Homo-oligomer: A and B are copies of this chain.
Amino acid sequence: MAKSAVRIKDIAAKANVSVGTVDRVLHNRGRVSEDVRQKVLLMMQELDYEPNMIARALGSNRTYELAVLQPDHTLDPYWQAPWNGLEKAARELKQYGVHVTIHSYNLTEVDSFLKQAEAATLSQPDGILIAPLFYRESLAFFERWQQQGIPYVLFNTYIAELQSLSYVGQDSYQSGFLAGKLVHFGQSQPGTFVIAHIAEDIANSVHISQKERGFRDYFAQLAPAPDGPPPPPFNIISIDLPQPTDPAFARQLNRLLDDEHTHLKGIFVSTSKAYEIAPYLQANHREDIRLVGYDLLEKNIHFLNENVIDFLINQNPKKQGYWGISALADLLVFKKKVPALKYLPLDIITKENLQYYVDK
């Protein structure tokens, strides 16, 4: 027995009022006496009324303007995927009156961010989705949005922020922890594991340092096997590399690879740029050194297929965009509760299961 179709009309009849009255209590628009209100509320409960969202979308001709702030996907390949996710969500929600405008900023220029954020704010949207790569500058806008009563969702980059509706993205700490497992797995001889940061301002980048903490914690918790032998002494070091175009990049990397008594077992690249390290391993025939990185960029995929990169951790960038928009839509059009935190899966990608994760 599918509890089929209890309509506003039904509860109106049962409560001896008109549909207009029911509608008023349903959306507490006021202008209805308290006793009638209670009666209607009761009837709604009794009949277990569920609004027909389809009819609602059709009837109320209202539209919802959503503004998105994210780095320009034509300047950095990583941001293509979130962009695809946004577009997909936009397409699906179009019929519900949802319209999304993407404000792209240049991820290397603060001014660009400020300008776009300003534009987004002035457009008076009904909701905002933001990848807050500029920490400090974002905070000021959060304040403004909150005062204006505009709900906003953070994605991709976590900022501890109590006022935002939700954060959609990855758990950086756990992804570092997982990376530890992946570089270590199956290696029992003592040696060194490296976490490599490429051209990152670590001090100003919360999620990078969380990744490092997770990575180190993985090896730390390896210790206390109660009955087994103690784990071999692993040496965990982190290196900061400059831009790959900088000659110092090759110099530092080669020094690391050439140092015989380091016993280098694996490298974890804390960003999506594992493909910058891979050529050096390949050139020196050091495919035995485990290499783990992030994201299914074309260049990463290339080295995964060449067995130079062993694992990629997929942060599900497309879904980040998709669910970010969905969260806003859930709040605004479907009036659903939105969880404050939505961690996306950390997919482990190898050559053998890659095909299922690349966007066709």
Interface residues of A (CB under 8 A from B): 2, 52-55, 57-58, 94-96, 99, 174, 177-178, 181, 185-187, 218, 310, 343-353, 355-357
Contacts and interface: CB of A to CB of B under 8 A. Distances in A.
Contacts of A54: 54, 57-58, 95-96
Contacts of A346: 353, 356
Nearest to A170: B356
Contacts of A356: 343-346
Given A95-B54, A187-B186, A345-B347, A352 B174 contact: yes
Nearest to A180: B352
Pick the 5 closest A-B CB pairs, nearest first. A186-B186, A345-B356, A348-B348, A178-B352, A346-B353
Contacts of A177: 352
Contact of A55 (B52, B58, B181, B218): B58
Contacts of A55: 58
Contact of A178 (B95, B178, B185, B350): B350
A352 B179 CA distance: 9
Contact of A185 (B52, B185, B218, B345): B185
Contacts of A352: 174, 177-178, 181, 218
Nearest to A90: B2
Given A54-B54, A54-B95, 8 more contacts: A54-B57, A54-B96, A58-B58, A181-B351, A185-B310, A186-B186, A186-B187, A346-B356
Question: How many copies of this chain?
Answer: 2
Nearest to A339: B360
A49 to B, nearest CB: 14
A357 B348 CA distance: 12
24 contacts: A2-B94, A2-B99, A52-B95, A54-B95, A54-B96, A55-B58, A58-B58, A174-B353, A177-B352, A178-B350, A178-B352, A178-B353, A181-B350, A185-B185, A185-B186, A186-B186, A343-B356, A344-B356, A345-B356, A346-B356, A347-B347, A347-B348, A348-B348, A348-B350
Contacts of A174: 352-353, 355
Contacts of A186: 185-187
Nearest to A99: B2
Contacts of A2: 94, 99
Nearest to A51: B95
Contacts of A185: 185-186, 310
A94 B54 CA distance: 11
A206 B344 CA distance: 34
A94 B94 CA distance: 20
A86 to B, nearest CB: 14
A58 B55 CA distance: 7
Contacts of A95: 52-54
Contacts of A187: 186
Nearest to A101: B2
A218 B350 CA distance: 13
